[in-house]
Amino acid sequence: MEVFPRTEKGGIRTCLMIILALAICVQALSACSSSPKKTPLRVLIIPKFEIGEMSGDFPGEAQLFYEEYCQGCEEIEIPNMPPTGHFYFNDENGVGMLVTGAGKTAAGLSMMAVLSSELYDYSDATIVSVGCSGGSVRNCTLGDVVLVTAACDYDLGHHVDAHEKKKNKSQVMWFPDNSYADYEYKNLNADLCDKTYEMIRNCPLQSTEEARTVMKESFGAKKEEDILPTVKKGTALTGDNFWKGIYGHVTAKFIADYYGCRDPYMVTEMEEVAIANTAECFNMLDRLISLRVIVNMDVFMKGETPESTWGEHRSFNEKVENENTETLDIFVPAMHNLFDTGRIVIDAALEGNL
């Protein structure tokens, strides 16, 4: 009995081709089944810098979160990670921590590398961006924690030096450019922001006597609610350099108003719009929560000047550790304020309550 009848033209060749195709399919399925399974990442915490060690010494933005959620975890190599970025992952709780480095470029590249990694499954992940910032002199006090509801790029557009104000009557030092309309600002998920705010709004926050005294002496703060830190909602202005002064303050307020942000300008920082834009690239913008704690103000305190504040060629970390006039003694209590509010959010995400 012939298995492949010779009377059917091309029968043998056709059957062999079918068998070959089936073999290829089986091989492909086998390869797929043997490929490494992605590990679910439940919460991605994104501080921007650390001071010294990751645990046990003077705390920067990352240390308290690392000690709580990633203690003992070694740094994991991620392809295409820039030198500023450092990633840790805890297999037991599904929490990842990305220390990006300061500035929009470092933040965007580091986050892009992590979210592009084939090691982790981000389909149910919540991103919690945490960091310190300068505060709006009209709206904030030292130690406040601000839930960011929108992020704007302070640098995109056209800036005018404040000295030019003498030559014209304009109060505005910044002019928009609609060429950047797709990425110059981002609104965060309003429902998620409102839910998060209700969770953290009554979180007790720390202050210091010196910080309260400076707020009184420098800015005329007299009411208790103007001096003691609280949880607030507001817009973040992201710039690639530290700035201070009333002209910068007016510019920041104008930018937030121009973009129609739902809450007023509250904080100035160096990464948040890059974090939001990168999250949007991976369809994760609606799962981004941003918390910023106020460690200095957007105008000069105690009669300081640009020269006295920044004239010495020392790093921000060195100045913070030496309790300079930029941050006074509020920095360490502020890191605890950031952690205390951040922990509420992270725990809620891990429990499936966000």
Prediction pTM value: 0.86
User: What is each CA distance from 134 to 26, 130, 188, 204, 208, in whole angstroms?
Assistant: 59, 14, 20, 20, 17
Torsion angle defined by CA atoms of residues 128, 262, 233 and 326, in that order, rounded to the nearest 10 degrees: 90
Give how far the C-alpha of residue 75 lies from the chain's centroid of Cα atoms, to the nearest Å.
Answer: 19
Distance of CA 310 to the CA centre of its chain: 25
∠ Cα 83 127 251 (to 5°): 80
Please list, in sequence order, all residues whose beta carbon lies within 8 angstroms of the beta carbon of residue 11, skipping any fewer than 6 positions away: 4, 5
pLDDT of residue 303: 77
**Residue 287, φ and ψ in degrees, nearest 5:** -115, 20
- The answer to whether the beta carbons of residues 113 and 80 sit under 8 Å apart is yes
CA dihedral 67, 73, 74, 76 (to 10 degrees): -110
Supply 201's token pair. 């709004």
Task: Tell me the C-alpha distance between 293 and 251, whole Å.
Answer: 21
pLDDT for the residue numbered 33: 45
At 4 the pLDDT is 42
Residue 203 DSSP class: -
- Ranges of residues in the chain with a pLDDT under 70 are 1-36, 165-171, 222, 321-325
pLDDT at 7: 45
Identify which of 127, 126, 144 has the alpha carbon closest to the alpha carbon of residue 136.
Answer: 144
Amino acid 71 reads Q
Domains, the chain = 52-350 (3.40.50.1580)
Instruction: Specify whether the CB–CB gap between 97 and 62 falls below 8 A.
Output: yes
Residue pair 101/107 in contact by the 8 Å Cβ criterion: yes
The string over 152-164, giving b where at least 16 C-beta atoms fall within 10 Å of a residue's C-beta and e elsewhere, is: bbbbbbeebeeee
User: Alpha-carbon distance 279 to 157, whole Å?
Assistant: 23
Mapping DSSP onto H, E and C, the string for 291-332 reads EEEEEEECCCCCCCCHHHHHCCCCCHHHHHHCCCCCCCCCHH
Comparing CA positions, the residue from 291, 340, 271, 316 lying closest to residue 100 is: 271
CA dist 30 and 49 (Å) reads 43
Give the residues across from 265 on adjacent strands.
235
Q: What is the pLDDT of residue 21?
A: 55
For 308, phi then psi, to 5°, come to -75, -30
Where would I find the beta strands (DSSP E) of the chain? Answer: 39-40, 43-46, 75-76, 86-90, 95-99, 120-121, 126-135, 145-153, 158-159, 174-175, 185-187, 231-238, 265-269, 288-297
- Burial state string for 231-251 with b = 16 or more CB within 10 A and e = fewer than 16: bbbbbbbbbeebbbeebbbeb
Q: Quote the CA–CA distance of 184 and 186 in Å, as a whole number.
A: 7
